[in-house]
Amino acid sequence: MEIINYGYKKINNRDVIETIRPKAEETGVAVKFSEFKDQLFCGIDAADIKKFCSLLNSDPALSFEYIKFLTAVDYVEYIEMVYCLYSFKNNWSIIIKAKLDGQEPVVDSITSIYRGADWHEREMAEMFGIDIKGHPNLKNLLLAGDEDGFPLRKNFEIKWEEREYVPPEKFE
Amino acid sequence: MYEENEILLDDLPKDYMEVNFGPHHPSTHGVFRFIAKIDGERIIDIDPVIGYLHRGIEKIAENRTYMQFKPLVDRLDYTGALNNELCYCLAVEKLMDIEAPPRAQAIRVICAELNRIAAHLIFFGAMGLETGAFTPLLFGFLDRETILNIFEIMAGGRLTFNYITIGGVREDIPPAVRTYFDKFKKEFPVKLKRYEELITGNEIFIKRLKNVGILKKEDLFNWGASGPVLRGSGVKFDIRKVEPYSGYEKYDFDIPVGTNGDVYDRYLVRMEEIKQSMRIVAQALDNLPSGDFTAKVPRVIKPPEGEVYVRNEGTKGEVGFYIVSKGDKNPYRLKIRTPSFSHINMLNFAASGNYIADAIVILGSFDTVMGSCDR
Amino acid sequence: MVWWSILLWALLKLVIAFLFIFITALILIWMLRKIMGHMQYRRGPRHHGPHGIWQTVFDTIKLLGKEDIIPSGVDRWTFIWAPMIIFVPSLMAFVFLPFAEKIVATNIEISLFFILAIMGLSIIALLMAGWGSNNKYALLGGVRSAAQMMSYEIPMLISAMGVVMMSGSMNLSEIVRAQQHIWYIVPQLVGFFIFGCASLAEINSTPFDIPEAESEIVSGFNVEYSGFRFAAFFLAEFVNLFIVCALAALLFLGGWLPFTNPVYGTIFFLAKTYVLIFAVMWVKSTFPRFRIDQFMNFGWKVLLPLSLANLFVTGVIVLMVDKFRGV
């Protein structure tokens, strides 16, 4: 395979905004940009996640092909999903945020676009109780499955309890 | 009669054999378990099961102050602990707009690069053990002892340190570090050449590692791989060059790249990185600026409101901290992005269709640490 | 009274062979640990006795004192008898090895043939161990080892046939006597190499130790055994190592020559055997192991044609030399 050199490029967030905004308006996604300490954030609706991510992934001028991470933050009235994408070609990083309902959060899965989001979404589903639609394999990843509640939510009580370990019957 | 036999074979229920490579396993990667469906010697499907080392660090962070949380960050990737500390301190410093003085930055670079050499020596040993040679393990750990001696007089620990603080480092380095490192720099390249003749040029090694587990870079971008795994497939990308932090732009070093994308190239990339790290440490020790070793930091660390994500080139890939702060003493949410999590995610894709022996070798080439994957 | 003394004499030889085997196995295990240790910048066992000589004795006593665990669900008959059966070929082969000019337990005309045939019986014990433990790792290990041993029997036998053609007899003492002018390693260098590779595969030693590949299938067919059953497998592996190196020393390195005195002859023969054992342990601590398909390729596509070519060339040259001499 040929070697591609990615060197140091100075980034200007204005360029990123100017490139993304017309394309997003074309596909009908409402985007709100904001900046904080040289980082670019953009807020979109939860229903537009798949459209926006596939636009960012497949467009050759944007080419945000790399998913850094995917996480969620629990503000009590709403849960905010955070997606962080990176483009190797232009050295642009972008952090996408989407607000979900606090009691019953539902979001689409982007595993079909970025295969690396697989385990990140599984972890968010078990830690926050987010219902991720379209995920191929939504089993528990890190937890044992015998907690009551979702650990990373703010209303999770941290208590100390002695429990008896019941091993599963067949390895699963 | 042949047709009758064929129909009979079609009617028999067939299934693939499921073998469990359990959490106790001699391939030294920590407690990791995977369930493989195999057909003879070929693997059809791998289902990794993780979570045996899950300690809930992200939840603990919401109940501790920033300084109280800092020792826990060592325990994430315990082979290269100082890189994790560096990333966390850089993230908090970015939130609070503190800049470490030049001497502290140089000391941080020395720590991070020495830790990279130590972690790659463990990889060297483990790679030998995967293929069945017992000697590289002992050679790797013996050479690591010299580096751990340097760490002991510098930072006070051998595996976990708690040395890099918010604003600088905890103490100044003693001048004995210079003597120890000069001795290491004189003796180690000779040994490295010997290891190359013994192991890298060994016919059996090359047969085991070449053309095994070839990964293309489009797939790697999609899965989120980083570090030597990415560099082995022809992507010349290093966070130390693209987004320099802690004064890395002052040092002169090359980035090794592989062209084939197989396990052998990832192995060679890591061996070459050891040499480059020694170059960086030599330059840093030669031009060590004088001055303070820590900046002025308020007693109680209360960053202003905001969110920040800072990433670092850790020993195994991209380590990142995403901190959400609401102006309190405790972080509101702390997310740790580790390379091992993304790499083990990729195991099914990379190892299906190969032999069992190859799957073990591919897992070894990803160089995962379970403390970093499970957090 | 004649049959009484013959029986007593046979029993005495059996006891001596048994003792010799066990003591050799203990010495070899100690040797392996020390040599591997020194090659890895450490020193191996040091505490029990000078240079750790009694370490293996204590290890064996420890293994004998452990609880005898038989997992539920195993096939009891095969599980229990496999470690006993694995000693049988080694013990039988031992009886025919000559140590010096007249020192051999039993001297028959086809001793080489008998030894090589007996060594193939250890496949059965490994298959029994692999199948009998109710464990997928053991099954994989047992099946792999059966495939390996069967593929590498053939090059081993054919390379030994080259020696037989040159010496004209299958009796091991005769073969050694025929090497008085020149040791057979010089004309049969290729045969020595093939015999070496194939016999390493027979005794499951690195780089051919796939049946007990520790990093993938956790010790293969050994995995469910503990206590004295494990000790039986462990000792049997080292006894096989000794037998194979002794065979190589007899066939290619001239056995006990040039000393015909029984004492000096035995010592020299044992010295040659131990040099070969040292070489095997050196290889064991240096090389990684092959993958199963690469190693079957090596056996069938490289060693087998090479050994057949060796046989052909040896036959032609022996015929021409005989014709030249007018025999």
The tens digit of pLDDT for each residue in B117-143 reads: 999 999 988 888 888 778 888 888 888
B35 and A39: CB-CB below 8 Å? Answer: no
CA angle, C239 then C240 then C245, to 5°: 100
User: The tokens of B337 are what?
Assistant: 């992005």
Residue B210, Cβ neighbours under 10 Å: how many? 13
Q: What is the pLDDT of residue B113?
A: 92
Q: Is residue B51 part of a domain?
A: no
3-state secondary structure of C22: helix
Q: How far apart are CA C105 and CA C99, in angstroms?
A: 9
- What is the residue-averaged pLDDT of chain A? 83
B207 and C294: CB-CB below 8 Å? Answer: yes
Q: Is residue B21 part of a domain?
A: no
Q: Is residue B40 part of a domain?
A: no
CATH of the domain at B98: 1.10.645.10
**C305-324 mean pLDDT:** 89
pLDDT tens, residue by residue, B76-107: 888 888 999 999 999 999 888 888 898 999 99
Domain chopping of chain A, boundaries:
13-103
Amino acid identity, residue A37? K
Chain B: residue whose CA lies nearest to C38: B135
The Cα diameter of chain B in Å comes to 91
Q: How far apart are CA B315 and CA B112, in angstroms?
A: 9
At residue B53, φ and ψ (nearest 5 deg) are -120, 25
Tell me which of B27, B135, B146 to substitute to probe the interface with C (most C C-beta atoms closer than 10 Å). Answer: B135
Chain B: residue whose CA lies nearest to A156: B59
- What is the residue-averaged pLDDT of chain B? 86
Q: How far apart are CA B102 and CA B89, in angstroms?
A: 15
B305 interfaces chain A, CB cutoff of 8 Å: no
Tell me which of B35, B38, B127, B207 to substitute to probe the interface with C (most C C-beta atoms closer than 10 Å). Answer: B207
User: What ipTM score was computed for the predicted complex, to two decimals?
Assistant: 0.88
Q: Is the pLDDT of residue C113 over 50?
A: yes
Instruction: Give the count of Cβ contacts less than 8 A between chain A and B.
Output: 116
B345 and A119: CB-CB below 8 Å? Answer: yes
Q: What is the pTM of this model?
A: 0.87
3-state secondary structure of C124: helix
Ramachandran quadrant class, B58 (left: phi over 0; alpha: psi -120 to 50; beta: rest): alpha
Angle, in degrees to the nearest 10, between helices B81-96 and B66-74:
160
B36 interfaces chain A, CB cutoff of 8 Å: no
A158 and B222: CB-CB below 8 Å? Answer: no
Which residues does residue A72 pair with via DSSP β-bridges, in sequence order? A81
The alpha carbon of residue A87 is apart from the nearest alpha carbon of chain B, in Å, by: 9
Tell me which of C222, C223, C287 to substitute to probe the interface with B (most B C-beta atoms closer than 10 Å). Answer: C287
pLDDT in 10s for each residue of chain B, 375 residues? 444 444 455 566 677 788 888 787 766 577 888 888 888 778 888 888 888 888 888 888 888 888 889 898 988 888 888 999 999 999 999 888 888 898 999 999 998 999 999 999 999 888 888 887 788 888 888 888 989 999 999 888 888 888 988 888 888 888 888 898 899 989 898 988 888 888 877 888 888 888 888 888 888 888 888 889 988 888 888 888 888 888 888 888 888 988 888 889 899 999 999 999 999 999 988 888 888 888 888 888 888 888 899 998 988 989 999 999 888 888 899 999 999 998 888 888 888 888 888 888 888 888 888 888 888
Our count of domains for chain B comes to 1
Q: How far apart are CA C33 and CA C27, in angstroms?
A: 10
The alpha carbon of residue C305 is apart from the nearest alpha carbon of chain B, in Å, by: 21
Residue-range definition of the domain harbouring residue B145: 56-374
Top CATH class, A13-103: alpha beta
pLDDT band for A94, please (50, 70, 90 cuts): confident
> Going by C-beta distance under 8 Å and a sequence separation of 6 or more, which residues neighbour residue A66?
A85, A86, A87, A88, B221, B222, B224
Q: What is the pLDDT of residue A132?
A: 85
Q: How far apart are CA B39 and CA C208, in angstroms?
A: 23
CA angle, B27 then B31 then B35, to 5°: 80
pLDDT tens, residue by residue, C27-45: 898 998 898 888 888 888 8
Q: Is residue B82 part of a domain?
A: yes
At residue A132, φ and ψ (nearest 5 deg) are -100, 115
C40 interfaces chain B, CB cutoff of 8 Å: yes
Report cis status (omega within 30 of 0) of the bond before B136.
no
Q: What is the pLDDT of residue B120?
A: 92
H or E element: which one contains B240?
helix B239-242
pLDDT tens, residue by residue, B215-250: 888 888 888 888 899 888 888 888 888 888 888 888
